[in-house]
Structure 1
Amino acid sequence: MAPPRVGGGSAGGDFTVIPLRFSNRSRASRHLFVKLHRVRDTADQSRPRDRTLFVLNLPPYISQECVHRLFSQCGPVASVELQEKPGPSNKSETPKSKFFPGRSVQGFRVAYVVFRSPAGVKAAVSSKPREPWVLSTNEHPVETGLQKWIQDYSSSIIDAGELQTEIDQFMKQHDQKVAELEALEEAEDGVPDEDGWVKVTRKGRRPGIPRTEAGNLRLIQREKRKRAQKELLNFYSWQHRETKREHIALLRKKFEEDKQKIALLRAERKFKPF
């Protein structure tokens, strides 16, 4: 009896259906859809043409270790790559810090399983298991539900001491690199190049040298002093403007009072030549 197959995908060919059960106690099962991954000649070489298996309908709680363990039944697995949707490889650099992991993929996923030999792919696409594959076993349990939430929450708590140690180590390495770069720049000053030209720079005008942590702190303190001095100057300017406004208002009031006095004197005089 041939394994069940589903009509073709975008790259051509049919999918082989592999039933998958979460555990031995589960009654319901889902299905994985697998087929040989066909790539163009210009595609990523990390997915060899005859050794890569394309897998669809992977549940959200599955991990690379689970996929590796499941398909190791078909043959030795070289690598597993989980993605949110089909497409070119999006492998990124290894996270530089365990405190800032990359964004985790949510929802159902796809996988690219690379076997050590083409026989592994052939075994997977021609497999016809009598019983569904089991994802979570006693030897390799898969956490879901409340246990997974607790595990994720516990792993999200950052130890302040470890984080500070890692930051200090990073800044130490950074300052060391900056010091080496500054020493290299100073050593090159006044030294002619291959054509006999000498690079002439002004003191304090060397471009491209990043500041050290101590230099950044000095710069921040200097900016704070400038900002405080500017605020003080602005305060005195504002006070000066307010004094001028009050003086002008007083002069206008006095001018109006003098006008009223003159009008009163004109009304009271007895001799009126005009």
Structure 2
Amino acid sequence: MAKAEGAADGGGASTSYRLLPVKIKGPGGGPAVTRYLYIKQHASPADGLPKERALFVAGIPVALQGPPLVELFAQFGEVERAALHGSRVSAVLLYRAAEGLAALLKAAARGRPLELRLPEPQGPCGLKAWVEQHKALKPGNGELQAALDEWMEDWEAEEERKRQEALKAQEDDGWTVVQRHKGRKKNASATGVVVGGVAGAAAAAAQLAAAKQKDPTHSDFYRFQQREQRRSELLDLRAKFEQDKKRIAELRASRKWKPY
């Protein structure tokens, strides 16, 4: 029986490790690789696990880190649970029955290696998996260009929306937006109607009247202007009336009979 002396696994007492050889066969049917595990009963009062069912395993290779480790030791009995250490090179397993741990220790005492065939990987593994993972972090030029085009379309659409809102606000204020075109100058409203000459003036006046009807605030503003204009015209009429009245009095005075 192969043994290796080691420190306790947290229980405080010195215990002996048993050397357990494991032949690992790849999924492709290639040559088996032998790895050696160090096992012993796990006696740690801090964990509160029953000593007759708990197993401590050290020296776990990468190929056995995870479900393959449970599958390997499940050959001797049902494994209730397994806890892999943060370093991933050691673990604690708990058998559902003490007979499972006893059968494992007996097989390790005989020195016969255990055999385990790894399952077929669901995706790329090894170096190929690392290469695929690296490629996934760096998308190609096509995906990058597509993402850039989508961003530019969204940005241009947002800028166009802002421009239309600004033009609409100017139109609501009663302004006629002048756009520069090649050739003769034309006027265009915010709605995109191009106007020019007499017809353009009529169209602009119609838009201005529509804007007054839409917004009561601006309508009140224009009525105020109209009231000021009528008041100014009334003052001018009164001044003209006084002038005419004075002139008529002068004419009447000049027509009186004067014998001398």
Q: Classify the TM-score, shorter chain.
A: 0.3 to 0.5
Q: TM-score with structure 1 length normalisation?
A: 0.40
Q: TM-score with structure 2 length normalisation?
A: 0.42
In terms of fraction of residues, the more helix-rich structure is 2
Larger radius of gyration: 2
For CA contacts below 8 A with separation 6 or more, give which structure has more relative contact order.
1
In terms of fraction of residues, the more strand-rich structure is 2
